Every structure is written in structure tokens, then in C-alpha cells.
């Protein structure tokens, strides 16, 4: 079983209806799908790979070798207790936003990643418009919901991760299983080193590396806005014994002030029960920070009580 691979360029041609249906299936049945021919140039993507890998080598790798996960794993191995490192991830990570500090020493990093983020944000908004149309919502509904109204108030962050080789991969998680808290996630993953898995029908399935594809997954807020038609999906990362895996995930998330609730049009039109509470995203994030790796349904119950 492989997650759907969808040619995004066919939205503009004779196969538009078929492509719309494929994206609907990806959102409803999987929560994960891969886009090819998505409009982001291969030349840019190749530069992103280059500067990200160089940044890790130049500015990050030495710190990881002295990091908390490394020290904790060494302690477990020395004890020979057979226990697993449960409360840490084997991951080097930093976040890029428009207004935070970026790595300084890697030539071309800032220029390349700023251009990449601009292109990814445009792609995210196109994907959300397709979701609007498939759900029967007004064009721009999801974007407006995540922005808390008109304007550009949504959070758009890019998480640059590397998962270094691990001598004892059976004892650690690259990234523990979780769903994403926010809206639409666009992942540019390593095209040679696998490790990302998603949970479908009780089985962990590899998200197969595919050169220069962009992996889309839906977060918890899309599940709420769609009143459960689209589900956020559990996923995790396994580590390798001999290779570093690169992962660049961009998150189009609600503004912390945005109020999120099921779209009234969906509830009324489909004569459904309202399956999720109405809440301010800041409150949801307070709950998520404590419960990220726990079952997601209690998060919605907890935020209902705030």
C-alpha cells in the first residue's frame, strides 16, 4: 500500500475533475498525499537540498553530537537495561519564520530558503482552495478561517529537521507518533533516505521518498473546519543506522487569535451533528503542548472545557 501520488498540474487541464477527486480521496481516506508537478522549480528544490545539508554539516552537527538525546541514549546503552528512550526525539531541528533568527554561516541559505518559503506559501493557498471546492465551501474559506478573517495573520513556519545516523535505532524514535496541531503541512522530504511513516487502518505505512515531490498532510484544524470529513493523520519518523535524513516541513497554521469551528455550511448542508467545539487556536495550542503525543480526541474535549 502506497500513499496517493497526484499530478497537481492536471488541475488546469481536461483531467481537472479526476484530479479534484484524487485530492478529495487523499484528504478523506488518507490525510497524506504527494504532489508532483506542483509548480515549484526543480532548480529551487535542488538549491534547498544543498543549503539545508550544508547548514547541518556546518552549523548543527557538532551540537547534536553533544545533545540531550545523544547523552540519554549513551546512558541507556551503558546500563544495558533494554529500556527505550521514550521522551526525546533523535532529531536536530530549527524553525524559520519571517521574523526570527536564521542560520548565518551557510552561503546562500537565507536567500534560498526565503524564496522557497514564498513558493510554498503560495502552494499551500492553492491546496486550500482545492479543499474549499471539494468541501463545497466558498473560495478562500479555509484561508480566511486560519487567518482569523481578512489579512495575512496566519502562522507560516518552516521546520528544518535532520535525523542523524543512530547506532541503536531500536532504542529511539526519530520523531514520536503524533498528529499536527495546525492547518496544512507541506513537506519536502529526503528523496534517498526514508523513515517517515503514517498510520492507516491500524498499519504503519512508509511515505515513500519521491524526488522533488511535496507531501501534503492535514492538521487537526482542518479536521475541525471540515467537521471530521478530513482527518489529521498519525505519523512518526524512524531513524537509520548509517544515513542522515533531511526533512523540511512548512506549516500553514491558524493565527493564535483565530477562532476555529466546524464550517456552518457543512453542518447545515449535510444535516450533520457538530462534531467539534468552537475554540480560540491559542487555547488549543496550550492543550496540544501538553498532549502532543497522546490520543487527539481528549484534546478537543479539553479545549471544549476552556
Q: Which residue ranges make up each domain of the chain? A: 5-304
Spatial CA neighbour of 283 closest among 181, 171, 174, 180: 181
Whole-prediction pTM: 0.94
Name the pairing type of β-strands 245-253 and 184-189.
antiparallel
- The β-bridge relationship of strands 214-218 and 155-163 is unpaired
pLDDT (tens digit, 9 = 90+) per residue, 219-275?
A: 999 999 999 999 999 999 999 999 999 999 999 999 999 999 999 999 887 667 889
Look up the CATH superfamily of 5-304: B-lactam Antibiotic, Isopenicillin N Synthase; Chain (2.60.120.330)
Of 25, 15, 290, 252, which Cα lies nearest the Cα of 156?
252
pLDDT tens sequence across 175-221: 999 999 999 999 999 999 999 999 999 999 999 999 999 999 999 99
- The set of residues, in sequence order, having a beta carbon less than 8 Å from that of 182 and lying 6+ positions away, is 155, 219, 220, 221, 251, 252, 253, 254
Cβ-in-10-Å burial (0-12, 13-18, 19+) of 63 comes to: exposed
How many CA atoms lie within 13 Å of 72's alpha carbon, on the beta-carbon side? 15
Residues 6+ positions from 272 with CB-CB distance below 8 Å: 227, 266
**If you search the block for the grid coordinates 521574523, which residue do you land on?**
99
- DSSP code string of 48-88: HHHHHHHHIIIIIHHHHHTSHHHHHHHHHHHHT------S-
Strand partners, 248: 160, 188
DSSP run (H or E) holding 220? helix 220-225
Distance CA 170, CA 30 (A): 27
pLDDT above 80 for 20: yes
pLDDT tens per residue across span 63-95: 998 888 888 888 887 777 777 878 889 999 999
Distance CA 157, CA 283 (A): 19
**Exposed, middle or buried: residue 237 (CB in 10 Å: 0-12, 13-18, 19+)?**
buried
Q: Do 69 and 172 touch, CB atoms closer than 8 A?
A: yes
Helix (H) or strand (E) holding 121: helix 109-135
What is the widest separation between alpha-carbon atoms in the chain?
Answer: 63
What's the rounded Cα separation, in Å, for the pair 306 and 300?
10
Q: Which residue, among 7, 23, 8, 18, has the nearest Cα to 217 in the 3D structure?
A: 23
Show the cell assigned to 101. Answer: 533568527
Rounded to whole angstroms, the Cα distance separating 29 from 163 reads 29
Q: Is the pLDDT of residue 34 over 80?
A: yes
The pLDDT value recorded for residue 48 is 98
What mean pLDDT, rounded, does the chain reach?
94
Inform me whether the pLDDT recorded for 147 exceeds 90: yes
SS3 176: strand
- pLDDT single digits (tens) 98-130: 999 999 999 999 999 999 999 999 999 999 999
Amino acid at each position: 500500500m502506497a500513499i496517493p501520488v497526484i499530478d497537481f498540474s492536471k488541475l488546469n487541464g481536461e483531467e481537472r475533475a479526476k484530479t479534484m477527486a484524487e485530492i478529495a480521496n487523499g484528504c478523506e481516506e488518507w490525510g497524506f498525499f504527494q504532489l508532483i508537478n506542483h509548480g515549484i522549480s526543480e532548480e529551487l528544490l535542488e538549491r534547498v537540498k544543498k543549503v539545508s545539508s550544508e547548514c547541518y554539516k556546518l552549523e548543527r552537527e557538532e551540537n547534536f553530537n553533544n545533545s540531550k538525546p545523544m547523552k540519554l541514549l549513551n546512558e541507556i546503552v551503558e546500563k544495558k537495561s533494554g529500556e527505550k528512550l521514550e521522551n526525546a526525539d533523535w532529531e536536530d531541528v530549527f524553525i524559520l519564520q519571517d521574523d526570527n533568527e536564521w542560520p548565518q554561516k551557510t552561503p546562500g541559505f537565507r536567500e534560498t530558503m526565503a524564496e522557497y518559503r514564498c513558493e510554498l506559501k503560495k502552494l499551500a493557498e492553492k491546496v486550500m482552495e482545492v479543499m474549499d471546492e471539494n468541501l463545497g465551501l466558498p473560495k478562500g474559506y479555509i484561508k480566511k478561517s486560519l487567518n482569523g478573517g481578512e489579512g495575512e495573520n496566519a502562522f507560516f513556519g518552516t521546520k528544518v529537521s535532520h535525523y542523524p545516523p543512530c547506532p541503536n535505532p531500536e532504542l529511539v524514535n526519530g520523531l514520536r507518533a503524533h498528529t499536527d496541531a495546525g492547518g496544512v503541512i507541506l513537506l519536502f522530504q529526503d528523496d534517498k533516505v526514508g523513515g517517515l511513516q503514517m498510520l492507516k487502518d491500524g498499519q504503519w505505512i512508509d511515505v515513500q521518498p519521491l524526488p522533488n515531490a511535496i507531501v501534503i498532510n492535514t492538521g487537526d484544524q482542518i479536521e475541525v473546519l471540515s467537521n471530521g470529513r478530513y482527518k489529521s493523520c498519525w505519523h512518526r519518523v524512524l531513524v537509520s543506522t548509517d544515513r542522515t535524513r533531511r526533512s523540511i516541513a512548512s506549516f500553514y497554521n491558524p493565527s493564535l487569535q483565530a477562532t476555529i469551528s466546524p464550517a456552518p455550511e457543512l453542518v447545515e448542508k449535510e444535516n450533520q451533528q457538530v462534531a467539534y467545539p468552537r475554540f480560540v487556536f491559542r487555547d488549543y495550542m496550550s492543550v496540544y503542548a501538553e498532549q502532543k503525543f497522546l490520543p487527539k480526541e481528549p484534546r478537543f474535549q479539553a479545549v471544549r472545557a476552556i
